[in-house]
Structure 1
Amino acid sequence: MAESDKVFAGSIPKFYDTLMVPLIFQAYADDMAARVAAFSPKSVLETAAGSGVVTRALAPRLGADARYVVTDLNQPMLDYAAGRQGADSRIQWQQADALHLPFENASFDVVCCQFGAMFFPDRVAGYAEARRVLKPGGRFVFNVWDRIEENAFADEVTQAVAVVFPQDPPRFLARTPHGYHDTAVIRRDLSQAGFSDIKIETRAEVSRAPSARDVATAYCQGTPLRNEIESRDAGFLQLATDRSAQMIASRHGEGSVEGRIQAHVIVAAG
């Protein structure tokens, strides 16, 4: 993983939240919030919270006396999420590295993480940290994207941007968000971290947007793919967005568009 894959700064948080969240993240956030709330936890730790889509879905489902600690490695994203959430005395916002959590052993009933594990430099270490801070009987709930070929828009944007930079195609989407999709590897990593009860469900959803342009802007300007494009030639950001919009429109039509998305949802304990 390139160092730029972890940088969510500048204008990325706003584009990410206003475009990417409704495009691909909201349905899985609602699913995760329902799963976590079903355990009736008194204490929840969220890692890699991003712009706070899970936080906004989960907080209303928790009890009035619940403790909810929301963390992210990227302070700009955490600041954005806190600003969106509004006042809630149950929520503590804290910058934290999921591989080095600043919490005592056995502190939480549930640890949850939406589409963050793919960014962990050492996933076994990240999972071991989640297990360390879980109370006996606690659950680690997280999700990861399936392979890029099962996610239409991400695949099409990657193809389109490769045409703009044929000598050095930006591969952020395939390399990182969609680079950790093998369920056998996920099980192995969780087992090495000490988890024994591992359930994996593959869920397909439909991604919708008002236009192909919205999809292209979301991916090219609301994710670290933007960093990759601008590192090659900042003047080509709009061209990459335009080419992506054209490819998506050619595959899905003019006007509103729909595309398949697919992810693995994991609940681990033990």
Structure 2
Amino acid sequence: MDTNTPRHDANFAGQIPELYDRYLVPMLFASYAADIAQRAAALEPSRVLETAAGTGAVTRAMAHALPAHVDIVATDLNQAMLDRAAKLDTGRTVTWQQANALQLPFDDASFDIVVCQFGAMFFPDKTAAFAQARRVLRPGGALLFNVWDRIEENEFADTVTDALARVFPADPPLFMKRTPHGYFDRDVIARDLAAAGFDAKPRFDTIAQRSHASSADVAAIAYCQGTPLRNEIEACGGASLEEATSACAKAIAARFGSGAVDGRIQAHVIVVRR
């Protein structure tokens, strides 16, 4: 059990799914989803499993990138996220199924690839999740996933975290640094994959992008109210969610400007063969 990942860090419920999909998907996830979908298509699978699918950013990208005969099964631990995903048009049939990545309800060797976008960081036991992915992969199949790089390489997240530390100096909310940006060490990831039974050496590609928002307010709402950071802020005393969000908006505007804003984001893309 990874004790550095509190259970509430993976709690995407209430208003979070809608705000996550409205703001964070275009800000952070869409460009990386297109990249993952292209990589998945290049592997020429016939059956694909997606874990930690969230509101379906990668699912929709794969639905467009993969041939029509390819079966796509998209899963997530949080039913609320899947409910949001299922409302959006994928242009083809997708099987949506609630599932825990640490206990996948699928037969051995039943998928050609397992895809996971920005989900591995949330798994309380990374090795167990990777072992489950390996179990359901056919021989020669591939696990394809990405994780955020260190928070200093992701400017909006870094700015928000610093601003919240000033709002809550006694007990700063560290969700972004602890979880989304807490699993970036290549050696640690390679070690966890090997411990899960992957004998092949993983391939790492580090990809930098730009994150865009129409305003500093939108960026602050995305992070403070559209992620489990919201749960941590609301559990803190001394400032409301609205006050914390406003402080983050001011910090983003001070660093990136008062109009439309954009900041650097960076992630590792990993593929490993079974």
TM superposition score category, shorter chain reference: over 0.9
State the match for 1:205 in structure 2: 209
2:82 aligned residue (78, 84, 87)? 78
Structure 1 unpaired stretches of 5+: none
CA offsets 1:131-158 (integer angstroms, 9 cap, x no match): 1100111010000000001100000001
User: Is the Cα–Cα contact under 8 Å of residues 145 and 181 in structure 1 kept in the other structure?
Assistant: yes
Residue identity matched to 1:250: A
State the match for 1:189 in structure 2: 192
Question: SS in structure 2 opposite 1:84?
Answer: coil
User: Is the Cα–Cα contact under 8 Å of residues 41 and 66 in structure 1 kept in the other structure?
Assistant: yes
State the match for 1:149 in structure 2: 152
State the match for 2:115 in structure 1: 112
State the match for 2:14 in structure 1: 10
CA offsets 1:16-54 (integer angstroms, 9 cap, x no match): 001011111111000000000111110000000001000
How many residues align? The count is 269
CA offsets 1:34-91 (integer angstroms, 9 cap, x no match): 00011111000000000100011111222222111100000000111011135633x1
1:165 aligned residue (160, 163, 168)? 168
After TM superposition, the score normalised by the length of structure 1 is 0.97
User: Is the Cα–Cα contact under 8 Å of residues 147 and 269 in structure 2 kept in the other structure?
Assistant: yes
User: Is the Cα–Cα contact under 8 Å of residues 52 and 85 in structure 1 kept in the other structure?
Assistant: no
Question: SS in structure 2 opposite 1:243?
Answer: helix
Matches within 5 A, 1:43-82: 43-82=47-86
1:253 CA displacement: 1.0
Given the alignment of the two structures, is residue 132 of structure 1 paired with residue 135 of structure 2, yes or no? Answer: yes
1:20 aligned residue (24, 34, 46)? 24
User: Is the Cα–Cα contact under 8 Å of residues 59 and 90 in structure 2 kept in the other structure?
Assistant: no
State the match for 2:96 in structure 1: 93
Structure 1 residues 234, 82: closer, same or farther in 2, change over 3 A? farther
1:234 CA displacement: 9.1
Residue identity matched to 2:114: V
Percent identity of equivalent pairs:
58
Question: SS in structure 1 opposite 2:205?
Answer: strand
User: Is the Cα–Cα contact under 8 Å of residues 168 and 238 in structure 2 kept in the other structure?
Assistant: no
Instruction: Give, in whole Å, the separation in 2 of the partners of 1:234 and 1:107.
Output: 51
1:42 aligned residue (46, 49, 68)? 46
CA offsets 1:183-207 (integer angstroms, 9 cap, x no match): 0101111111121131011111011
Given the alignment of the two structures, is residue 228 of structure 1 paired with residue 232 of structure 2, yes or no? Answer: yes
1:233 CA displacement: 3.9
1:219 aligned residue (210, 220, 223)? 223
User: Is the Cα–Cα contact under 8 Å of residues 167 and 239 in structure 2 kept in the other structure?
Assistant: no
Instruction: Give, in whole Å, the separation in 2 of the partners of 1:60 and 1:207.
Output: 23
State the match for 2:254 in structure 1: 250
Residue identity matched to 2:65: R
After TM superposition, the score normalised by the length of structure 2 is 0.96
Residue identity matched to 2:266: Q
Residue identity matched to 2:28: I
Given the alignment of the two structures, is residue 29 of structure 1 paired with residue 27 of structure 2, yes or no? Answer: no
Residue identity matched to 1:217: I
